[in-house]
Amino acid sequence: MSVEDMDRFSEPTYRIHIGLRRAVDVLGAGGAAFILAPLMLIVALAIWIESGRPILFSQIRLGQYGRPFRMYKFRKFGPDCHSQGCPLTMEADGRLTKVGRVLAVSKLDELPQLWNILRGDMSLVGPRPPLPQEVEQYQPWQRRRLRMRPGLTCLWALEGRSQLRFERLTRLDLLYIDNWSVWLDLKILLKTIPTVLSGRGAH
């Protein structure tokens, strides 16, 4: 089943809504990048001092309508994992660096995705971008989550993040898509901050 054949839903289709969402993304990501620039520099230096280059880890993910793009994170694993395609999750935590363990729990490793947002690959809020091999395993109803631009945070991030089963994650993504509004995005963003600070639901 192609992405174009997915069921219809209340995706923000009016230009004013799409434009407003993009404006929030650009202003939010740009402002966050400016404010957090010193912190990101500290993280980059910490990675470089502990294990050298590369500082960033990149991986191909699928965005809106299944378009591939390169998503960035601060590297949590040893530098050899950059070329070996190590996972971005903590399932291989035996290879995590000391700095990487802190980044994984705090979710600071995801800050470089602000660049993805400014580029238009992602939004501040939306379904998390899947790997191509994950999408190959999707059931037809699950492919509907590709109809919206992926996000830095999402609705299921507030319910325990990695502790939820994939089917539950997908249903929460579809619930978000079907009820999208700018106010819902702002509410999710505001609730994400204490969730990340508390480490609730992290691996």
Number of domains in the chain: 1
Cα distance from N-terminal residue to C-terminal residue, the chain: 33
Is residue 48 domain-resident? Answer: yes
Split at pLDDT 50, 70, 90, the class of 73 is very high
pLDDT at 193: 75
Residue 30 resides in a domain: yes
Q: Are 150 and 63 in contact (CB under 8 A)?
A: yes
Q: Are 177 and 144 in contact (CB under 8 A)?
A: yes
Q: Which residues pair with 74 in a beta bridge?
A: 56
Residue type, position 192, single letter? T
Considering the domain boundaries, does residue 62 fall inside one? yes
Residue among 177, 116, 110 at smallest CA distance from 141: 177
User: What mean pLDDT, rounded, does the chain reach?
Assistant: 82
The helix/strand count (H/E) of the chain reads as 7, 4
Look at residue 203 and tell me if it is in a domain: no
Nearest to 57 by CA among 105, 98, 96: 96
Structural domain for 88, as ranges: 3-198
**Residue 81 pLDDT:** 66
pTM of the model: 0.80
Q: Is the dihedral of CA 73, 78, 83, 84 positive or negative?
A: negative
- Which residues pair with residue 153 across a beta bridge? 125
pLDDT higher than 70, residue 37 = yes
Specify the range with the lowest mean pLDDT, choosing from 37-51, 96-110, 134-148, 182-196. Answer: 182-196
Pairing of strands 123-125, 151-153: parallel
Is the pLDDT assigned to residue 68 strictly greater than 50? yes
Q: Is residue 51 part of a domain?
A: yes
CB count in 10 Å sphere of residue 86: 19
Per DSSP, which regions of 94-192 are E strands?
123-125, 151-153
Q: How far is 165 from 101, CA to CA, in rounded Å? A: 23
156 C-beta neighbours (distance < 10 Å), count: 22
Interval 156-169 mean pLDDT = 69
